[in-house]
Amino acid sequence: MDTTDISPIDWDIGDEISSTKHRLSVIHAEGAAKHLPRHPDAADDDLNPSTDTMPQPLLTNWGRLGRASISIAMYESLVRIAMYTDGWHGPGSLGLRSSSLKRFIEFWSLVRNDAAEPEISLSSDGSLHTEWYKSARQRLDLRFADQSVFFGLFSNNTILEGADSVDTVAQILRLHRAAPLRWKAK
């Protein structure tokens, strides 16, 4: 999988960024669908014609995404997750909340130079959940809520868990002797 960094704000999309009509193109490559922002000058026949409206959490955080230096693989995961709507996991489950994506991007911007990319998923409350995994006895889980980051670090016989600000959790995990942010996703 290509891990080239992308910067969505480099695209000349002008006023379209504020429009919920901004389209995503689905490009089929290597047997898997890849979601990339559609360049406004691209002709319909340049790409697969399947399109959707850009999910609000991505639209709200578009500038932050561009500054976060995320890989194409991570961007694809976030687009896939942002496509889920309320009720995706049964009654009461929520689609991705913009505030959760914002917290994750803030966190990633602080740790990206010291971290492997995590496995990213959506919790039924609409918050992003990330995981770094080394073994059955070494695992880090984070959940990005509206105001706090909840974390659980399991490292051999030690458990460290809590909830705090993005800055504090990033500092705790960057300085932890087990270097959990360097563990690869499952």
Q: Looking at the structure, tell me whether residues 118 and 72 fall in a common domain.
A: no
The C-alpha atoms of residue 110 and residue 144 are separated, in whole angstroms, by 14
Together in a domain, 76 and 100: no
pLDDT at 174: 95
What pLDDT shows up at residue 52?
56
* Predicted local confidence at residue 184, as pLDDT: 87
Q: Tell me, yes or no, whether 50 and 79 share the same domain.
A: yes
The two most distant CA atoms of the chain are separated, in Å, by 57
Structural domain ending residue among the three candidates 83, 112, 146: 83
pTM greater than 0.75: no
The per-residue pLDDT for 156 is 87
Residue 68 region by backbone torsions, left for phi larger than 0, else alpha for psi between -120 and 50, else beta:
alpha
pLDDT for the residue numbered 72: 93
Amino acid in the structure at residue 20: T
pLDDT at residue 73 in the model = 93
Among candidate residues 63, 83, 103, the one where a domain is terminated: 83
pLDDT of 146 reads 87
Expressed as residue numbers, the domain containing 146 is 94-186
Which parts of the chain sit beneath pLDDT 70? Answer: 1-52, 185-186
- Cα(58)–Cα(35) distance, rounded to whole angstroms? 12
**Residues 7 and 77 reside in one and the same domain:** yes
SS3 165: coil
**Would you say residue 98 lies in a domain?**
yes
Assess if residue 38 is contained within a domain: yes
How many domains, the chain?
Answer: 2
User: Using the 8-state DSSP alphabet, how is residue 12 labeled?
Assistant: -
Q: What is residue 185's predicted lDDT score, i.e. its pLDDT?
A: 65
Name which of 103, 90, 117 is nearest 148 in CA terms: 103
Q: Which residues contact 77 (CB under 8 A, 6 or more apart)?
A: 120
Same domain? For 117 and 59 the reply is no
Dihedral (CA of 48, 50, 51, 55) sign: negative
| 117, 147: one domain | yes
* CB distance 128 to 170 below 8 Å: no
Question: Do both 7 and 69 map to the same domain?
Answer: yes
Is 89 inside a domain boundary? no
For residues 126 and 100, the answer to whether their CB atoms sit within 8 Å is yes
* In-domain check, residue 184: yes
165 domain-assigned = yes
Q: Are residues 61 and 131 in the same domain?
A: no
